[in-house]
Structure 1
Amino acid sequence: MNKFTSEDIETLENIILSRRDVRGNRFIDKDISKEDLEKILFAGVNAPSVGFSQPWEFVVVKDAAIRTKIKQSFFEENEKAADLFEGKKGDAYTQLKLEGISESALNIAVFYKPKEHPVLGQTSMKEAGVFSVVCAIQNMWLMARALGVGLGWVSILNPNKVKTILNAPEDRELIGYLCLGHVDFFYENPELEKLKWEKRKTIDEVLIYNHY
């Protein structure tokens, strides 16, 4: 078993605290090296998964025409979302840059691939397979940040349209659409925290012992 030093622990904590959701206005015109992309994907495929099912697939999208189609889905869904926020939040929403589909060096669509047979640990909670894919995305996010690569998760998309654009098999489920690229800088604090969109919660606010 590996033993980790206090310096290792501090480094991991720093990476976690420094992770940011990167928007299109931060990406710069610089390719991601093959080595860095492989490290990010390696982090993803080594995530924990229920029943060691490893139910993820990654579609690396560099083609500009495909990305333009994906971005059109974002525009359509973003117009619907903007109507849901009112007052100051509505004003702030219209000012936010919420994706970097075309500005980033590449996109990665992360899919859940269900098993045809029962999966250990997934017989009662079917969602555990999807949760496993989310763990893979988190691993990728942390590795990207450690490499100085920005990553933004675009959730304002129609997943079925993305599936069609990418010609994904019928049984696949889109879990995350990620934009990756080098950035001019990383914010010291999350952008939405800086804008006071929400207040950061403390551990005491969310910690419950034994029962509610």
Structure 2
Amino acid sequence: MANPFSESERAAVYRAIYERRDMRHFVRGPVAPEVLERLIDAAHHAPSVGYMQPWRIVRITDPAVRLALHAAVESERIKTADALGQRRDEFMKLKVEGMLECGEVLVMALMDGRERHVFGRRTMPEMDLASVACAIQNLWLAARAEGLGMGWVSIFDPDDVRALLDIPTGAQPVAILCLGHVERFYDEPMLETERWATRKPLKECLFENRWPEA
């Protein structure tokens, strides 16, 4: 093996992976500028297909813009609930974001002009989105290592967010990220605690050589 981490360093990496949580409950207070800089730099060092680096990060510092984004999320939350049928009331009881309490709100988006990048995307153009997801995961794990919580909000209409943030045609908002201090990290994913879903056994997701017959 080439230059492996020490045992304690490996343990820290795996700890960040297993203790990362999609946080919804935050303690009000700012994120230190030097910590935020480290986190955003970690996101920027994510892998990307064809080294296209398609992520664009909009930091929301205007309280009015944050409130407008929150209103857009709330509007879509109600529409999502209505689309869930019998699970509507159950969904409406869930806390799906912490946008008004967290220290920082970041909007992660795909850049415009992505059609120029063919390397790795000729048959799978969605690899630009996969690359942005890697940047989000980098930020998430780094935040956990710093003792900060992060929540990924995807309940919004991209056109609403695009208009609010003057995102150009061709670019695509992907996630609203809530980042900040937390009183504690959830012992397990919140949707497991709320009995919305459970983690699938690994054997249902891992195959060998071929997809098994149903």
Q: Judge same fold: TM > 0.5, yes or no.
A: yes
Query: Which residue matches 1:111?
Result: 109
Q: Answer whether contact 1:68 1:102 (CA < 8 A) is retained.
A: yes
TM-score after normalising by structure 1: 0.93
Q: Answer whether contact 1:50 1:119 (CA < 8 A) is retained.
A: no
Query: Which residue matches 1:3?
Result: 4
Q: 1:148 to 1:10 in 2, by over 3 A?
A: same
Which runs of 5 or more residues in structure 2 are unaligned? none
Query: Which residue matches 1:189?
Result: 188
SS in 2 for 1:59: strand
Provide Cα deviations, 1:36-86, integer angstroms capped at 9, x if missing partner.
Answer: 101110111100000111111100002110011111111111111112334
Output the CA distance in 2 between the equivalents of 1:3 and 1:148: 25
Query: Which residue matches 1:173?
Result: 172
Cα deviation, residue 6, structure 1: 2.2
SS in 2 for 1:83: helix
Q: Answer whether contact 1:44 1:139 (CA < 8 A) is retained.
A: yes
Cα deviation, residue 116, structure 1: 5.3
SS in 2 for 1:15: helix
**Alignment of structure 1 residues 46-195 onto 2, 5 Å:** 46-87=45-86, 89-113=87-111, 114-115=113-114, 117-195=116-194
Q: Look up the equivalent residue of 2:21 and give its one-letter code.
A: R
Cα deviation, residue 207, structure 1: 1.0
Alignment of 1:12 onto 2:13: yes
**Alignment of structure 1 residues 38-49 onto 2, 5 Å:** 38-49=37-48
Equivalent pairs: percent with the same residue? 38
Output the CA distance in 2 between the equivalents of 1:118 and 1:163: 22
Cα deviation, residue 125, structure 1: 0.8
List, as ranges, runs of 4+ consecutive aligned residues in structure 1 with deviation greater than 3 Å.
Answer: none
Provide Cα deviations, 1:107-136, integer angstroms capped at 9, x if missing partner.
Answer: 111111143523311111101111101110
SS in 2 for 1:11: helix
Say which is worse superposed, 115-124 or 140-149, in terms of deviation: 115-124
TM-score after normalising by structure 2: 0.92
Q: Answer whether contact 1:64 1:102 (CA < 8 A) is retained.
A: no
